[in-house]
Structure 1
């Protein structure tokens, strides 16, 4: 998980929908169910570099790709909002499928796992739009994600299942760490990595490609490179 800086402007199709509803005679109810979602999906994908806001797996705009098609997640759950509040773009982030078609909740992640919890359990403080919170996120070489804040650390696992043994996320993050380590050790013996080398690796692993897409699990690369640069 990493900090997401969202575009400030609501997508044009959502603005038009709200405007048309308010201008209708009589005015029409503004609801999440009826609102257009293509513009929001596209803007979220671009803002996030085509990775899930929670687990950092790849997301895309191809609705035929059920595994990677971007879903809209409400940070404050819909059940806590009015119909119109549920259309507030500032409350949206883009997430992966999270295995929502799986029967076993232990194999679900992200909003699919959160959505299977009770309404009360779905409420959480954890928010990838909160920069201060995201600065507390850490990764272990084993792939475990945690926070220096105990409440947030608990929610990473208990609300989103990002460390679930049946999800392969820990293994994938550990693989990302090992891949980075392998490339660095090919260049220099560990302990002799200059800041110049680490900054060059940042350009390789942490910058988006020509389409604006980040590598999957980019937060792992960012965390460890920052960690080594500040040693």
Structure 2
């Protein structure tokens, strides 16, 4: 999971929200299409939760409501741009144990929010691909409600980290990598490509680099 900076909402969403009795279910198709496009692009075409690739098409992603659109206490946020995220299909149609992200979450409220600027400090990635948090409630969000330690996702995160570390060893031979070298790699990981895409599961090597750079900074006299 990575922090998602919410940009300006689409004009079409604002116009529709101001119409009498506007609801998410009543969204015109062209507005929903624009929503998918804008959400996917501001997220680097990554799922807001698991960070696998999404596509701005009906069969390539879902529009997620972080706060439930149907719960009485949060129904008023069903057309709130800051409450909308782009999520993967999350194993839709599979047994529940294989589902993840929005498909698994449903209307269950969660504490962890990708649009909170400090969310990345609350999440850590272990060498075996596990995603976890020292905050018990958030750890439950990640592991149970969102099922982000589902076997395939965990395997994919580990493969991304292993591949990144191997590439670093080839690019920077030796046992110690300089802070400048790691800063360059960090900048590259955080920058979308020419098509606006971030690398799948990019927050895993980003977390690893930031952790290692932090240790270097602490070791300086």
Normalising to structure 2: TM-score of the pair? 0.89
Residue 201 of structure 1 is matched in structure 2 by: 185
Contact 1:40 1:89 in 2 (8 A): no
Q: Counterparts of 1:230 and 1:191 in 2: how far apart (Å)? A: 17
Structure 1 unaligned regions, length at least 5? 23-28
SS in 2 for 1:87: coil
Moved more, 140-149 or 129-138: 129-138
Match of 1:125 among 88, 94, 111: 111
Q: Counterparts of 1:148 and 1:181 in 2: how far apart (Å)? A: 25
Q: Counterparts of 2:9 and 2:171 in 1: how far apart (Å)? A: 45
Residue 219 of structure 2 is matched in structure 1 by: none
Structure 2 unaligned regions, length at least 5? 216-221
Say whether 1:228 aligns with 2:215: no
Query: What is the count of residue pairs matched by the alignment?
Result: 211
Say whether 1:188 aligns with 2:172: yes
Give me the CA root mean square deviation: 1.7
Say whether 1:91 aligns with 2:83: yes
Contact 2:50 2:101 in 1 (8 A): yes
Q: Deviations over 1:72-123 (max 9, x none)?
A: 1111112224765311111111100001121x111111010112xxx5xx11
SS in 1 for 2:48: coil
Residue 148 of structure 1 is matched in structure 2 by: 134
Q: Deviations over 1:123-177 (max 9, x none)?
A: 1111111122321211011000011212111210111000023xx0000000010
Residue 218 of structure 2 is matched in structure 1 by: none
Match of 1:213 among 181, 192, 197: 197
Q: Counterparts of 1:227 and 1:206 in 2: how far apart (Å)? A: 15
Q: Counterparts of 1:80 and 1:109 in 2: how far apart (Å)? A: 20
Normalising to structure 1: TM-score of the pair? 0.85
Residue 179 of structure 1 is matched in structure 2 by: 163
Q: Counterparts of 1:10 and 1:200 in 2: how far apart (Å)? A: 32
